[in-house]
């Protein structure tokens, strides 16, 4: 599981070995001569590879620039925090798609559904009888003291029994048939708008590609999301359930996605100031007065949902919202308290969690993980910091982590002190030999590391998984960090029909 030769998803190892020489500075041949460099094209890429060999490099680069212009005109940006002012950036997009076969996807889908069902059962259990703790499969110290555990949810039964209405499962590939779950996103998973815009852009840029390749569509995601959310409406809903998207506002890093999804679903985008509790229902202000809301797809963190229950200084939520939620008069998606499933220490117990609630071994394994609050694990991590990836248990976006093999001695020394001061705040994992896919650079095609975030919808009617999801790519040579806030980009992800 340590660093090693990466598996290239399109051309086996040939691209990594030979293309890296061109990356060092030597000029690459025209893309149309790629057949002189690469052998053994993998089956899912066969039709695309044949098309690529026929393409003029100048046309591809022109199309890359056109795609960037589309993103800029559409306003597909995100905000980078942690500086004097938030910086707005364009999401980098690469026009070379990532392709998965129907067989590969079928196995992934089975594993994803198994994991998501286990996550939902786990959340119900820890807010009720905590049978997994009673059985000794999960330490009590992982639950109640966890800052993501919400005591206010104890005994709460959300409408339809669903906690995780929208889930993003981050996957990495290390070999031909080797996929690992890197982390779970069960609170407010983001990025689905990029998945949809990537596909729309590719359809505009290369319609001929979709005539040659039978690619499963993703455009029905907004309609599926609305149906899934509506299916989770509380019993008091009358007629067609009213759905709304709650956003923190224009300056939130994911505001584009909030407005995009509301528009595509045909529902209202609301802020806390637009809402109030009226006659025991959550209602939004309209030109005809206040209209009840049945399902609130919130993109606001737990602490800010209701100043009467959580942070009293919150101006983003709605006073009294949590009371009517507990009374079963509105659905909040995802349910408050689901953030504990995002915790990376909880993640380390997911093999046990999956087996406990499903009675089956996990189809998709975890990455081996050391829990630094355990003395023996901490000792191992401290002794091997230069070889490991260390993450904050509540961290996200690629922040607050150490990638040992690429860190300086000074960075490792500083992180060692952080670990000793607060070991419970960290987990560590081996540096995986992540798979690579080709990206279009100024010099030609070059390999870059990727992960994959499929999106899952859960309702009482079942589990729906969008075929493919969002491929995030580390655009810097040698980088393992795919997050857009850390310089990563995105690709269109194709799942082929049978």
Among 73-82, 89-98, 426-435, name the one with the lowest average pLDDT.
73-82
- % of the chain surpassing 90 pLDDT: 73
pLDDT over 70 for what percent of the chain?
Answer: 88
List the beta bridge partners of residue 447: 438
Among 109, 96, 91, CA closest to 364: 109
Q: What is the pLDDT of residue 30?
A: 45
3-7, 173-177, 304-308 — most confident range: 304-308
Please indicate, yes or no, whether the overall pTM of this predicted structure exceeds 0.85: yes
* pLDDT in the model for residue 73: 80
Token pair 């070991």 in the structure block, residue = 423
8-17 pLDDT, tens digit per residue, is: 899 875 443 3
Contact status, residue 92 vs residue 475, Cβ threshold 8 Å: yes
**Burial level of 177, CB count in 10 A (0-12/13-18/19+)?**
exposed
Residue 39 has what pLDDT? Answer: 52
Give tens-digit pLDDT for 229-268.
999 999 999 999 999 999 999 988 889 999 999 999 999 9
Length of the chain: 498
What's the Cα-to-Cα distance from 186 to each of 19, 76, 355, rounded to whole Å? 38, 24, 19
pLDDT at 89: 64
Q: What angle do CA 49, 54, 57 make, to 5 degrees?
A: 100
Q: What is the pLDDT of residue 99?
A: 97
| Sign of the CA dihedral with 427 first, then 468, 495, and 213 last | negative
pLDDT for the residue 72: 81
Least confident span in 83-97, 174-188, 400-414, 438-452 = 83-97
Q: Is the pLDDT of residue 184 over 60?
A: yes
Architecture, CATH, for domain 368-431: 2-Layer Sandwich (3.30)
Report yes or no: 219 and 196 within 8 Å, Cβ to Cβ: yes
> Chain-centre distance of CA 331, in angstroms?
23
Mean pLDDT score of the chain: 88
- 366 phi/psi in degrees, rounded to 5: -80, 160
pLDDT at 321: 98
Q: Determine the Cα–Cα distance for residues 330 and 293; give it in Å rounded to an integer.
A: 7
pLDDT above 90 for 464: yes
Question: For 194-234, what is each residue's pLDDT tens digit?
Answer: 999 999 999 999 999 999 999 999 999 999 999 999 999 99
3-state DSSP of the chain: CCCCCCCECCCCCHHHHHHHHHHCCCCCCCHHHHHHCCCCCCHHHHHHHHHHHHCCHHHHHHHHHHHHHHHHHHCCEEEECCCCCCEEEECCEEEEEEEECHHHHHHHHHHHHHHHHHHHHHHHHHCCCCHHHHCCCCCHHHCCCCCCCCHHHCCCCCHHHCCCCEEEEEEEEEECCEEEEEEEECCCCCCHHHHHHHHHHHHHHCHHHHHHCCECCCCCHHHHHHHHHHCCCCCCCCCCCCEEEECCCCCCCCHHHHHHHHHHHCCEEECHHHEEEECCEEEEEECCEEEECCEEEECCCHHHCCCCCCCCCCCCCCCCHHHHHHCCCCEEECCCCHHHHHCHHHHCCHHHHHHHHHCCCCCCCECCCEECCCHHHHHHHHHCHHHEEEEECCCCCCCCCEEHHHCCHHHHHHHHHHHHHCHHHEEEEECCCCCEEEEEECCEEEEEEEEEECEEEEECCEEEECCCCEEEECCCCCCCCCCHHHCCEEEEEEEECC
Specify the pLDDT at position 79. Answer: 53
- In sequence order, the 6+-apart residues with CB closer than 8 A to the CB of 143 are 126, 130, 133, 149, 340
Q: Where are the domains of the chain?
A: 368-431
């Amino acid at each position: 599981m340590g660093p090693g030769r990466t598996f290239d998803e399109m051309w086996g190892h040939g691209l990594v070995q030979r293309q890296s020489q061109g990356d060092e500075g030597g000029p690459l041949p025209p893309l149309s001569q790629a057949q002189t460099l690469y052998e053994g094209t993998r089956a899912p890429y066969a039709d695309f590879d044949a098309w690529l060999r026929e393409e003029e490099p100048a046309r591809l680069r022109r199309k890359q620039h056109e795609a960037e212009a589309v993103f800029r005109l559409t306003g597909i940006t995100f905000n980078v925090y942690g500086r004097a002012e938030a910086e707005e950036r364009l999401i980098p997009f690469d026009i070379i798609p990532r392709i998965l076969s129907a067989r590969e996807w079928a196995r992934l889908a089975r594993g994803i559904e198994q994991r998501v069902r286990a996550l939902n059962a786990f959340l119900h259990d820890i807010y009720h009888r905590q049978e997994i703790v009673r059985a000794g499969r999960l330490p009590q110290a992982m639950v109640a003291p966890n800052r993501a555990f919400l005591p206010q949810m104890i005994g709460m039964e959300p409408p339809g029994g669903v906690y995780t209405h929208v889930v993003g499962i981050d996957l990495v590939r290390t070999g031909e048939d080797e996929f690992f779950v890197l982390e779970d996103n069960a609170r407010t998973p983001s990025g689905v708008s990029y998945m949809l815009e990537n596909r729309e852009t590719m359809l505009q840029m290369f319609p001929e590609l979709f005539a040659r390749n039978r690619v499963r569509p993703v455009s029905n995601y907004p309609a599926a999301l609305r149906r899934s959310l509506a299916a989770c409406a509380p019993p008091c809903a009358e007629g067609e359930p009213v759905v709304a998207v709650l956003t923190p506002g224009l300056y939130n890093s994911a505001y584009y996605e909030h407005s995009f999804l509301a528009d595509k679903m045909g529902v209202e985008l609301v802020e806390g100031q637009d809402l109030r509790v009226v006659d025991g229902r959550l209602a939004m202000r309209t030109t005809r007065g206040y209209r009840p809301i049945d399902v609130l797809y919130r993109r606001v963190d737990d602490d800010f949902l209701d100043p009467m229950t959580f942070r009293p200084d919150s101006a983003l939520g709605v006073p009294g919202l949590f009371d009517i939620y507990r009374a079963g008069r509105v659905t909040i998606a995802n349910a408050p308290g689901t953030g504990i499933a995002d915790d990376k220490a909880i993640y380390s117990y997911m093999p046990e969690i999956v087996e406990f609630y499903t009675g089956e071994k996990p189809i998709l394994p975890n990455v081996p993980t050391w829990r630094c609050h355990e003395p023996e694990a901490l000792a191992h991590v401290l002794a091997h910091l230069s070889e490991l990836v260390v993450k904050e248990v509540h961290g996200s976006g690629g922040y607050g982590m150490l990638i040992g093999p690429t860190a300086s001695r000074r960075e490792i020394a500083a992180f060692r002190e952080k670990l000793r001061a607060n070991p419970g705040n960290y987990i560590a994992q081996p540096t995986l030999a992540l798979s690579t896919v080709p990206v279009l650079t100024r010099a030609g095609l070059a390999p870059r590391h990727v992960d994959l975030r499929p999106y899952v919808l859960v309702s009482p009617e079942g589990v729906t998984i969008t075929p493919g999801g969002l491929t995030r790519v580390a655009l810097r040579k040698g980088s393992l960090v795919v997050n857009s806030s850390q310089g990563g980009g995105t690709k269109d992800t194709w799942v082929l029909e049978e």
